Amino acid sequence: MAKKGNTKDIAVIGTGRFGTSVVEQLVSMNRYVMAIDNDEKNLTQVSRIANSVAIADGADIEGLKGLGLETFETVIVGVSNNIEIIAALLEIGVKHVIAKARSIRHERVLRQIGVDIIVRPEAESGIRTAIIATNSSFIKYAEGLQEVGDGYAIGTTIIKNAGWFERALKNMNFVKMGVSIVSINRNSKVILPHGSLMLKENDKLTIIGKIHNITKVFEEANGFKGTTEIKISKYKKTKKATAEKTEKKSTLKEK
């Protein structure tokens, strides 16, 4: 019986050239990987690399449950004839599905049925697919990112975090965040970055940096997390505490 997955485990269905490349990269990134194929011969090479292997039909719901795939955070489908496999994965509740598309038309179909990320092997390497699979924020922002090599990417996001509005670039500490600002698009006009430039709501920020740093900045720019929100939260808490303290003093005076 194969190991039941946890939130960081990844399964790869289909161990051809593309699938094997993904498995190799994931293992090099110290992730637990289960390789699955319906042909034992295809598993021969990858069995020396993957943490576990299984001979199974990727479209068999009961078989997938038996392998514990519903507990895996991400499943990568490395075969082209994959509609039934993807449907089975979505039915058992796999959180993230990354699938291989053989054409633009096939890609459209995969998007319609709910695939998170779609890769085109002629344009996407197994290495990049592995990087995507291990970064949940990349899955969220993949449409706005383009890998440029050596783990770096360039991406664009829209500023939605109110804590960023009317703040000068020089006060944003982007260097400490590990990214560089390439340009800012405001009202369809491209602005070159300079220290005194004030950020505005809905500015389109194009940045370059390591993939994990970019996705962190994207998270904060969209208001999901960051130092600005924490400061606002603390201010509200302090204000409430002060009000309670004043109320207690008033009660004591009355007594």
Burial of 194 (0-12, 13-18, 19+ CB in 10 A): exposed
The per-residue pLDDT for 128 is 65
Q: Could you give the angle at the alpha carbon of 107 between the alpha carbons of 87 and 27, nearest 5°?
A: 70
Among the residue ranges 37-41, 85-89, 160-164, 222-226, the one predicted with the least confidence is 222-226
- Tell me, yes or no, whether 54 lies in a domain: yes
Identify whether residues 212 and 162 lie together within a single domain.
yes
pLDDT of residue 139 exceeding 80, the answer is no
Does the pLDDT value for residue 255 go beyond 60? no
Residue 102 pLDDT? 82
Q: 242-249 long-range contacts, Cβ below 8 Å, gap at least 24? A: none
Q: Is residue 197 a contact partner of residue 168, using CB atoms and an 8 Å limit? A: yes
| pLDDT at res. 242 | 42
Mean pLDDT of 118-142: 63
Helix, strand or coil for residue 159?
coil
Percent of the chain with pLDDT over 70: 73
Residue range(s) defining the domain that contains residue 222: 125-226
Span 15-38, average pLDDT: 88
Strongest mean pLDDT among 11-25, 52-66, 69-83: 52-66
Q: H/E element holding 10? A: strand 10-13
pLDDT exceeds cutoff 80 at 4: no
Asked if residue 135 is part of any domain, the answer here is yes
Residue 166: per-residue pLDDT: 94
Ranges 34-43, 55-64, 134-143, 179-188: which has the least confidence: 134-143
- pLDDT class of 176 with cuts at 50, 70, 90: confident
Say how many domains are in the chain: 2
Q: How far apart are CA 25 and CA 85, in angstroms?
A: 23
Same domain? For 131 and 69 the reply is no
Among 42, 44, 45, 48, smallest CA distance to 58 is for 42
Comparing 83 with 175, the larger pLDDT belongs to: 83
CA 194 centroid distance within chain: 30
| pLDDT at residue 193 tops 80 | yes
- Shared-domain flag, residues 14 and 108: yes
The residue-averaged pLDDT of 107-129 equals 74
Last residue of a domain, one of 98, 119, 140: 119
Structural domain includes residue 3: no
Structure token digits, residue 132: 């995507």
Q: Mark which of 119, 150, 175 sits at the end of a domain.
A: 119
Strand pairing partners for 34? Answer: 11, 52
The reply to whether the predicted model has a pTM over 0.75 is no
Is 24 a domain residue?
yes
User: 82 and 16 share a domain?
Assistant: yes
Residue 246 has pLDDT above 60, yes or no: no
115 plus 14 within the same structural domain: yes
Given pLDDT bands bounded at 50, 70 and 90, which one contains residue 34?
Answer: very high
Domain shared by 110 and 132, yes or no = no
